[in-house]
Amino acid sequence: MIALVNPKSANWGFRVPNSLLTLGAFLEGRYDYTIIDENLGVNAVNGLAKLIQNGVKYIGITVMPALQLRGAYAISKEIKTRFPDVKIIWGGYFPSMHPNTVLKSPYIDFVLKGHAEYSFIELLDSLEGKPGAKALNQIAGLSFKHDGVISHNQKAEPIDPDLIPRLPYHKVDVDKYLNFGKTYLGPRTIGYHSSVGCPFLCGFCAVAGIYKGKWLGRSAELTASDIIFLKEKYNIGAVEFHDNNFFVAEKRVYDFAKAVNGLGIGWWGEARPDTVMKFSDDTWQIMAEAGCKMIFYGAETSNDELLKLMHKGGTQNAQTLLDLAEKSKKYGIVPELSFVLGNPTDNVTRDIETDLKFIKKIKAINPAAEIVIYTYSPVNFEDSEMSLAAKLKGFDYPKSLEEWVSPKWQNFDLRKNPLTPWLKPHHFKIIRNFEKTLNAYYPTNSDLKIRGWKRSLLQLMGSWRYKTDFYTAPYEIMLTQKLLKYRQPEIEGFAQS
């Protein structure tokens, strides 16, 4: 039997572990496996110790940065120390971006990069010595070490999502994930992946670093049939499409929306502003009718020159964002616009202030628009100008897992606290003070608890500051937000409850 582990990744509002279920879909009928999800409150180390005593030899761990990385490291260290013969295999975003750092650790044996579901099976076949199994150096997407030397095989091509069988939901207690209360999208929200990658090559984006401009989508028909199945079997009320770019192909979106129209589910996904601005009015209309309530967009910046440095590609510019705010308002689909501030430019303060003014323009057009402000964190994307500029300005990554899990680096990939040398404390102050004021004057609609007098109170507190552009030391707002338990959707997600 194989154990697949999802280390704790969120304190609340977590979703079914889709990456492990996808791996499970390929293991079905080949190897026995079980899924351990720490998000459900189980202790992975205790569970694994019991499984190992019953014969488990291989442990696959999915690893995102920050909280999940810390958990994955702790689990691997404990298990490898107690059971040195057990093979520990890391996959997911973090090891895909930092395979050398991961394999330098004595607690991890293998890294599988990208979508390596077939490679996982080939690795198991090889380790089990099955007849005809590939040698380690022939397995695509695998990084491994031999006599202390780390080797990286050629990358594994993403799997056509149409070839992925329906996920083995019976392997997890789906109800436990759905019973987290109502979200802005509706009750019983599930996460779903309908595509992999993205056709663009934005120089600040890890997706571009991993997929290098490749995008593959599950057909509208299969996607809709899965959603209908989930509605019938688990009575889902809402779907978060966790695709990197759900809205790449207009026809797929149109056909999907038509197929689920009338099901009564709310849905959310990520898009590029310039792509959806090219969609026809018919497509916007059917999206709205079929329950698309909110779309997350990478707005990045209002500075068109900076967009070029970012290699944003496509036709996006500041005007696209203003037009998008207008169009979204017309169709009642909330735009969730994420800006990346604090880029490595020649005048960081000026660029931040310009974007903050632009955000106010967006809000004036569409007050329902949700604004997410991130600070630029370099991604390990060697061939991007942004990455090079960051290195020239003195940024570098930790060289060991121990350093990655140290308090200093814990929040790095939340893009709220990057350790970039050109961002000074006063830059953070400008951004955070503006954010506090913005969130007071325009409390998010997605926090279902902030309604009525609470909303009016916040707006009153933020009003004079917002109107006079005076954001310094907004202590009264911070105190009120604390008392009202104002959730920070810009950190926790707007679609969450």
Chain positions contacting ligand SF4, by CB under 6 A? 198, 200, 202, 205, 207-208, 244-245, 272, 298
Q: How far is the CB of 93 from ligand SF4 (least distance, A)?
A: 13
Task: Give 105 or 384: the residue with its C-beta nearer to ligand SF4.
Answer: 384
From residue 83, alpha-carbon distances to 43, 55, 57, 279, 402 in Å are 17, 12, 9, 55, 20
Task: Give 196 or 265: the residue with its C-beta nearer to ligand SF4.
Answer: 196
Q: How far is the CB of 208 from ligand SF4 (least distance, A)?
A: 4
Q: How far is the CB of 160 from ligand SF4 (least distance, A)?
A: 19
Task: Give 243 or 435: the residue with its C-beta nearer to ligand SF4.
Answer: 243
Q: How far is the CB of 198 from ligand SF4 (least distance, A)?
A: 3
Q: Is 262 left (phi over 0), alpha (psi -120 to 50) or beta?
A: left
Q: How far is the CB of 311 from ligand SF4 (least distance, A)?
A: 8
- Rounded to the nearest 10°, the torsion over CA 455, 456, 461, 462 is 70
Task: Give 71 or 298: the residue with its C-beta nearer to ligand SF4.
Answer: 298
| Distance from C-alpha of 271 to C-alpha of 424, rounded to nearest angstrom | 31
Please report the sign of the dihedral spanned by the C-alpha atoms of residue 421, residue 425, residue 426, residue 427.
positive
Task: Give 20 or 307: the residue with its C-beta nearer to ligand SF4.
Answer: 307
Q: How far is the CB of 222 from ligand SF4 (least distance, A)?
A: 22
User: Could you give the strand order of the β-sheet that contains 87-91, starting from the edge strand earlier in sequence?
Assistant: 33-37, 2-6, 58-62, 87-91, 110-112, 142-146, 149-152
Question: Measured over all CA atoms, what is the biggest interatomic distance in the chain, rounded to whole angstroms?
Answer: 74
Q: How far is the CB of 491 from ligand SF4 (least distance, A)?
A: 19
Tokens of 269: 């996904």
Q: How far is the CB of 57 from ligand SF4 (least distance, A)?
A: 37
Tokens of 379: 């991604």
Which amino acid is residue 202, in one-letter code? C
| Distance from C-alpha of 496 to C-alpha of 365, rounded to nearest angstrom | 25
Is 375 in contact with 492 (CB distance < 8 Å)? no
CA 194 to chain CA centroid, Å, is 14
Task: Give 14 or 200: the residue with its C-beta nearer to ligand SF4.
Answer: 200
Residue with the two structure tokens 């990208």: 114
Q: How far is the CB of 386 from ligand SF4 (least distance, A)?
A: 11
Q: Phi, psi (5° rounding) for residue 319?
A: -65, -35
Q: Which secondary-structure segment (H or E) carries 60?
A: strand 58-62
Residue with the two structure tokens 């154990």: 3
CA 238 to chain CA centroid, Å, is 18
Task: Give 290 or 309: the residue with its C-beta nearer to ligand SF4.
Answer: 309
Q: What is the DSSP string of 77-138?
A: HHHHHH-TTSEEEEESHHHHH-HHHHHTSTT--EEE-SS-HHHHHHHHHHHTT-TTPPPGGG
What is the bridge-based pairing of β-strands 215-217 and 238-241? unpaired
Task: Give 193 or 436: the residue with its C-beta nearer to ligand SF4.
Answer: 193
Q: How far is the CB of 472 from ligand SF4 (least distance, A)?
A: 32
